[in-house]
Amino acid sequence: MNRHSLLSMRDLTAKDIVQILDDALLFDNEFKDWQLPLSKALAANLFFEASTRTHYSFESAQLQLGMKVADIAVSQSSVTKGETLYDTLKTLEMVGYDLFVIRHPQDEYYKELENINVPILNAGDGKGDHPTQCLLDLLTMYKEFGTLQGLNVVICGDIAHSRVASSNKEALEKLGSTVRFAGPKEWEREGFEVVDFDEAIPEADVVMMLRIQKERGAALEEVSDGDYLNRYGLSRERYARMKDSAIVMHPAPVNRGVEIDTDLVEAEKSRIFPQMANGVLVRKAVIKRAFGF
Ligand code: NCD
């Protein structure tokens, strides 16, 4: 495995995280136009699960950094003939690609990729990890509060199936913030501290809402009789009880009217769309790091 791969937030120390966020901030300011000083930099992006933000913000970051990008159409590749993920990636390595971005439904799919020498950036593995989403979440919080220490973060929704929840828990605790979890009992997760959402709201600096992961077997009907928003979601009433300085986050895609009232998606405290712009900045930073710069 290339030592510059980024597979999980477990791979990064607090110092590494700060370095990546510092680079992301430079890409937002003095180094907007910085490009990789390489004569050849070919990215192969492989998405075995649906994606809009992660996929196209990686592509935007790669193009802005001067890379050439191949979008590997997984459904037309030899994966459909039964080729393993390892053999597919070894092939792409042999034919000249320098960076892999991979999203895959299997937790820790990368464990079978030890002998791939090209750096791999994990764009989400099952309910495992989603490190670049976590980094963009951290950047969004840092821009808001000027620190990542001592923040009170509440993450609410389908915790059991969310890689965003697990990556944020790992990183925020490492950085010295408090992160607690709310939502239906059925979707709690071992080792994740539970808090009553209504009690947590007035104290929270960040209220992060999550989508119900239907593709991982979660069903709305299993936890609610059709009133999910008022029972577990961010309703207008809950929003009104947030601190003035607090913000709303959501990795998106949003199911409007389910986990969040549709009018709150672009409300004053919402950072849901700015999170997406921050995603390009952190992805530029992790690509820079992947090439050893
Ligand atoms: C998240 C994901 O794929 O884990 N989305 C994203 O990358 N922006 C969350 C989700 O799909 O609900």
- 36-61 per-position pLDDT tens digit: 999 999 999 999 999 999 999 999 99
CB-based burial label for 286 (10 Å; 0-12, 13-18, 19+): buried
Average pLDDT, whole number, for the chain? 97
CB-based burial label for 34 (10 Å; 0-12, 13-18, 19+): middle
Q: What is the pLDDT of residue 224?
A: 83
Ligand 1 centroid to 181 CA: how many Å? 17
Amino acid identity at 30:
E
Which ligand 1 atom is nearest residue 133's CA? 7
Give nearest CA residue, ligand 1 atom 8.
251
Which residue ranges have their beta carbon within 6 Å of ligand 1?
A: 53-54, 124, 130, 133, 163-164, 211, 251-253
Give nearest CA residue, ligand 1 atom 9.
251
Give nearest CA residue, ligand 1 atom 7.
54
Which of 133, 140, 210 should be mutated for ligand 1, with most atoms under 8 A from CB?
Answer: 133
Distance between CA 161 and CA 115 in Å, rounded?
29
- 122-165 per-position pLDDT tens digit: 999 999 999 999 999 999 999 999 999 999 999 999 999 999 99
CA distances from 290 to 1, 5, 32, 87 (A): 12, 6, 18, 22
**173: part of which helix (H) or strand (E)?**
helix 163-175
Q: What is the pLDDT of residue 226?
A: 78
Ligand 1 centroid to 251 CA: how many Å? 6
Indicate the pTM of the whole model. 0.97
